Structure 1
Amino acid sequence: MPKFRVKLAETTQYVIEVEAEDRDEAAELADEMYCSSSDPDAEYGASAWVREVSSVTCLREAVAHAV
């Protein structure tokens, strides 16, 4: 039976409320808050998860193409 290497990509979305003068400052503050958090899931609650297969490679075919 052939073996496959499957790459999964997962996207998580967070909603972080900040007070800021404009959109750029709001984006910067939210990014800083997210990056400094030790547990963003607990602090901000992940609002959406999307997982999809981004690639599938048959290992036997990958070896044949490399030769």
Structure 2
Amino acid sequence: MIVYIAIDAGRCMGHGRCYAVAEDLLSDDEQGYVAQCGQTLQIPEGLLGQARDAADACPEGAISILEHARADA
């Protein structure tokens, strides 16, 4: 299973709650928004918990966790 985090740039309002709870995964930009806004990134092993915490912390629902089966499985 490959797991991704997707951050919807249109929904992000810059509350900063996501990178506050997932500091090993996400960071902020100079305007206070999550620096990874508008991106879909593979979640490194061991950081799935932080990714889920970030998604749960977002009051706008701008963060999604996407799971995909591996092609070689």
Q: Structure 1 length normalisation: TM-score?
A: 0.32
Give 1 or 2 for the bigger CA radius of gyration. Answer: 1
Q: Which has the higher strand share?
A: 1
Q: Which has the higher helix share?
A: 1
Q: Structure 2 length normalisation: TM-score?
A: 0.30
Larger relative contact order (CA 8 Å, sep ≥ 6): 1
